[in-house]
Amino acid sequence: MEGTDQISKLPEPILDHILSFLYIKEAAKTSTLSKVWNSAWTSLSCLDFGDNYLHKSKNIVDQILANRLNQKIFIKRFRVNLPNYRSKAVDDWIKVLVTCNIKELFLDVGVYTYNKFPEAIFAAKSLNVLSLRGFKLELPSNGVKFYSLRELHLDDSFLDEQLLQALCAICRDLEVLSFKRFHGLISLQVAGTLSKLRKVKLQFCPPKFKNVDIVAPNVKDLYISSFGLDLHVIEITACKSIKHLKLTAVAVSDQWLEELLPNLLSLEVLYLDHCLSLKIVKISSYRLKLLKVYACYNLVAVDLDDAPSLLRFSFDVHHGKKRLLGYFDTLPIFKLKASQLLEAKIKLIPDPEALDTHWYSKLTESLGNFNNSRAITLSCDYDEMIVIPKDMRENLLPPLYGTKCVHIKIMDRMNYSVKDVVDSLLWISPQLDTLSVDQGRRLNSLIKFTYRDVANEDEKPCCASLPWKCWRHELKKVKLQNFTRTELEKLRNYFLTNTDTLDIIEDPPECSSALHF
């Protein structure tokens, strides 16, 4: 029924739940709505102050906490950003929160302040989630007693081996361990006591951090990234349930990877980023679906023959000079079974000053590895990188003659028109069904190709030297979508001049203002 105040008649726990989706400031405003709402506000159990913290707010937090304490309300969540750290304030708050059976605590004081986090927290029996930034956590004199801890997130914080071992021994319900820009630990050792552990994230390991040794049979997500390229020893073969593995800037060897993968029978996603010790990557993984290999500058070969479930492979191609890293001349050798299901995503990163014949032949060679893939996505900064000079085309074989679907993203267009990009791509893959161009507009520009039915077996191939019918003679219909008026004109002329009889369907061009944000 419209007009009746139904919302105020919802059960109290539901009103409390609705308010828990608001920051404290917004929730407090509802106190003046009506008596029911005032009551819901004063007993609100989720105290999320959001990202804003005003200097004079300490009193407000004190007041709100005191009020909850008086009413003996259990506090489900407490989240505060405290850029001007005051240890007395935090001490008082933790005492109240522990008494109020805090379940989820989020406290951020900015970068590492060397301030010790109140020991009182270790007695928080109901604590499920502890997320801290900028504190020092030390083994408490009374021992670790937050047995219900499920998630520990530490950012810009300090913890040592002793405390970690105590946590592993006592907090048997731990599911998530996430440490970012941490201090203190020089190794991470989890020795099999955490059967519920499902996610481990180690980000920006400090320079002295040397060793990861995790025995956790139920971990599904493991992310390790290192600052100092010093992290050599990673022992994770006992984590047989790993589904997602991401390694950034860790010094793992070819042999390490080759020996690890057959143990990870559930692996579906693997990212290798800045792993400069890798030279020959051999992937043996039955379930692997997605592989990303970026900025592994010393890579010489990638062997994907034994990855039958691979659906997507992303990598980057470098060329020319790279600051501090030398000169990239060679191209990694790719070995893979031509898979009809594979989508290859290739990022082209040549030095813009080195777009020479070497680059274009390297590009062509590189692309050739992925012929017959289901789809190819290319991305590059300048269109020059993908427009192969016409004189070079005469001496090279189109690398993607079997590919039906190409998508290209160009960050900054420079020298050429979209027609020239299309022309180059049609040389690269002469039997396309779909060509999609992301020019940074709301919608991608799309070209769909329809070919003549092969009616006559006796028809001679049109271009004698090529083993396929070329699009110039076989194209029956072209559909153009999401191009500007000028682009449509150029493309129309291009297709009409290059083919015999052709049907061109154009979606009415959107006016330019609609195409650009």
Partner 1 sequence: MSSTKLLTLKTSDGEEFKLDEAVAVKSQAIKNMVEDDCVSNAIPLPNVDSKTMTKVIEYWKKHSEEGVSKDQLNDFDKGFLEVHHSVLYDLLLAANYLNDKELVDVICQEVADRIKGKTPEEIRKEFDIKNDFTPEEEEKIRQENAWAFD
Check binding of 12 to partner 1 (CB under 8 A). Answer: no
Check binding of 24 to partner 1 (CB under 8 A). Answer: yes
Q: Give the amino acid at 53.
A: Y
Joined tokens for residue 233: 């020893």
For residues 59-86, one letter each, b for 16 or more C-beta atoms within 10 angstroms of the residue's C-beta and e for the rest, the string is eebeebbeebeeeebebbbbbbebeeee
C-beta closer to partner 1: residue 34 or 330: 34
Tell me the closest approach of the beta carbon of residue 14 to partner 1, in angstroms.
6
Contact 413, 384 (CB under 8 A): no
Q: List Cα–Cα distances, 249 to 201, 228, 272, 278, 327, in angstroms.
A: 14, 8, 8, 11, 20
Check binding of 28 to partner 1 (CB under 8 A). Answer: yes
Among 31, 218, 241, 361, binds partner 1 (CB under 8 A): 31
DSSP-derived secondary structure for 273-290: ES-TT-SEEEEE-SS--E
C-beta closer to partner 1: residue 15 or 130: 15
Contact 399, 367 (CB under 8 A): yes
The span from the CA of 211 to the CA of 223, in Å, is 14
Check binding of 270 to partner 1 (CB under 8 A). Answer: no
Tell me the closest approach of the beta carbon of residue 56 to partner 1, in angstroms.
8
Check binding of 305 to partner 1 (CB under 8 A). Answer: no
Stretch that binds partner 1, among 19-27, 330-338, 447-455, 508-516 (CB under 8 A): 19-27
Nearest to 400 by CA among 421, 439, 437, 374: 374
Stretch that binds partner 1, among 24-32, 209-217, 279-287, 404-412 (CB under 8 A): 24-32
The span from the CA of 213 to the CA of 114, in Å, is 27
Check binding of 35 to partner 1 (CB under 8 A). Answer: yes
Tell me the closest approach of the beta carbon of residue 200 to partner 1, in angstroms.
25
Among 12, 14, 111, 414, binds partner 1 (CB under 8 A): 14
Check binding of 29 to partner 1 (CB under 8 A). Answer: yes
Tell me the closest approach of the beta carbon of residue 423 to partner 1, in angstroms.
32
Among 6, 465, 497, 501, binds partner 1 (CB under 8 A): 6
Contact 323, 356 (CB under 8 A): no
Count other Cβ atoms within 10 Å, centred on residue 220: 17
Tell me the closest approach of the beta carbon of residue 513 to partner 1, in angstroms.
24
What's the gap between Cα 159 and its chain centre?
A: 27
Residue 411: in which H helix or E strand, if any? strand 405-412
C-beta closer to partner 1: residue 59 or 456: 59
Among 12, 38, 123, 317, binds partner 1 (CB under 8 A): 38
Tell me the closest approach of the beta carbon of residue 341 to partner 1, in angstroms.
15
Nearest to 484 by CA among 504, 503, 508, 502: 508
C-beta closer to partner 1: residue 8 or 340: 8
Check binding of 11 to partner 1 (CB under 8 A). Answer: yes
Check binding of 326 to partner 1 (CB under 8 A). Answer: no
Check binding of 18 to partner 1 (CB under 8 A). Answer: yes
Tell me the closest approach of the beta carbon of residue 303 to partner 1, in angstroms.
31
C-beta closer to partner 1: residue 26 or 503: 26
Check binding of 2 to partner 1 (CB under 8 A). Answer: yes
The span from the CA of 111 to the CA of 357, in Å, is 49
Residue 438: in which H helix or E strand, if any? strand 434-438
C-beta closer to partner 1: residue 39 or 162: 39
DSSP-derived secondary structure for 15-35: HHHHHTTS-HHHHHHGGGT-H
DSSP-derived secondary structure for 140-199: -TT----TT--EEEEES-EE-HHHHHHHHHH-TT--EEEEES-EE-SEEEEES--TT--E
> What's 317-349 look like in SS3?
EEEEEECCCEEECCCCEEECCCCCCCEEEEEEE
C-beta closer to partner 1: residue 30 or 45: 30
Tell me the closest approach of the beta carbon of residue 174 to partner 1, in angstroms.
22
Check binding of 323 to partner 1 (CB under 8 A). Answer: no
Tell me the closest approach of the beta carbon of residue 466 to partner 1, in angstroms.
37
Contact 508, 485 (CB under 8 A): no
Cβ contacts of 227-233, under 8 Å, gap ≥ 24: 229/276, 231/205
Check binding of 19 to partner 1 (CB under 8 A). Answer: yes
Residues 40-79 contacting partner 1, CB under 8 A: 41, 57, 60
Question: Going by DSSP bridges, is the β-strand pair 244-248/221-226 parallel, antiparallel, or unpaired?
Answer: parallel
Check binding of 37 to partner 1 (CB under 8 A). Answer: yes
Check binding of 34 to partner 1 (CB under 8 A). Answer: yes
502 has which bridge partners?
none
Check binding of 147 to partner 1 (CB under 8 A). Answer: no
Tell me the closest approach of the beta carbon of residue 271 to partner 1, in angstroms.
20
Contact 487, 507 (CB under 8 A): no
C-beta closer to partner 1: residue 11 or 467: 11
Query: Where do we find the tokens 């180059």?
Result: 424
C-beta closer to partner 1: residue 3 or 326: 3
Stretch that binds partner 1, among 20-28, 201-209, 251-259, 379-387 (CB under 8 A): 20-28
Stretch that binds partner 1, among 26-34, 96-104, 403-411, 484-492 (CB under 8 A): 26-34
Backbone angles phi, psi at 76, to 5 degrees: -80, -40
Among 3, 326, 467, 508, binds partner 1 (CB under 8 A): 3
- Which residues here bind partner 1, judged by CB under 8 A? 1-8, 10-11, 14, 17-22, 24-26, 28-35, 37-38, 41, 57, 60
